[in-house]
Amino acid sequence: MTSSYLTLKNSVEHETEARRSRFVCAIAPASTVEEATGFIAGRRRLHPAATHNCTAYVIGQRVQKGDDDGEPGGTAGTPMVQALVGRGFSDVVAVVTRYFGGVLLGAGGLVRAYGSAVTETLDRAEPLGLVARMVPARLVRVSVAHDQAGRVENDLRASRYGVREVAYGPAVDFAVAVGDDEVAAFAEWVAALTAGRARVEPGQAIHVAC
């Protein structure tokens, strides 16, 4: 994924109702399919008596999956995925638990109910400060001699850049998260900090919260 996107910092839950059926929606951050399926399994354990536990997750740019869990095909999982993508969210998983209220909603009613359950829950997340915007970045490797490592590490940790890893070998290597538009300025800053003795190598494309 090369563009910015929204995700959640923590899980959020909200309940809606449509013609006496209860729809309990829970949405959580999930950066891998394993995290998403783990959250789904937990929600199903929490609501074993529910009529349906319908699910959707969006991971990265390419993984989008919805599950109708017994509802008519395309009436639950797909509108849930569309609600997440339409709001610009990724690396998230949603579970909408339905307790049937005795009145059939029809295909159109189900699509609206499941999609609205997700969008209304996302609407609640933003005022709670749970939404994060993720922007493109690089994991930049900074290699310095051992005699410079202590001061460089202190200055890196005091800066706005995120130190992800420190490795000690023949040199000391720091993996630092740097916004795409700041890589050149970061390299210049490190060069000034180390009198040109550091080696700076842009690496893996990642996203960081802005």
Report the pLDDT averaged over residues 192-198. Answer: 95
- What is the model's pLDDT at position 62? 87
Residues whose CB is less than 8 angstroms from the CB of residue 148 and which lie 6 or more positions away in sequence, other chains included: 172, 194, 197, 198
Categorize the per-residue pLDDT at 61 as very low, low, confident or very high, splitting at 50, 70 and 90. confident
pLDDT digits (tens, 9 = 90+) for 94-127: 999 999 998 889 999 999 999 999 999 999 998 9
- Ordered structural domains, the chain, with CATH: 5-129 (3.30.230.30), 134-209 (3.30.70.240)
How many Cβ atoms from other residues are within 10 Å of residue 77's Cβ?
A: 23
Please state, in angstroms and rounded to a whole number, the distance separating the CA atoms of residues 6 and 84. Answer: 10
- What is the model's pLDDT at position 200? 96
DSSP secondary structure of 139-207: EEEEEE-HHHHHHHHHHHHHSSSEEEEEEESSSEEEEEEEEGGGHHHHHHHHHHHTTT--EEEEEEEEE
Categorize the per-residue pLDDT at 210 as very low, low, confident or very high, splitting at 50, 70 and 90. confident
Residue 66 has pLDDT above 60, yes or no: yes
pLDDT digits (tens, 9 = 90+) for 14-29: 999 999 999 999 999 9
CA distances for 153 relative to 139, 169, 182, 189, 191, angstroms: 16, 15, 19, 13, 14
Please state, in angstroms and rounded to a whole number, the distance separating the CA atoms of residues 49 and 62. Answer: 33
Rg over CA atoms, the chain: 22
Report the pLDDT averaged over residues 2-12. Answer: 91
Please state, in angstroms and rounded to a whole number, the distance separating the CA atoms of residues 210 and 41. Answer: 31
- What is the model's pLDDT at position 68? 96
| Count of helix runs (H) and strand runs (E) in the chain | 5, 10
Report the pLDDT averaged over residues 132-156. Answer: 95
146-158 vs 183-193: helix crossing angle, rounded to 10: 130
Q: pTM for the complete prediction?
A: 0.82
Residue 56 has pLDDT above 80, yes or no: yes
- What is the model's pLDDT at position 117? 97
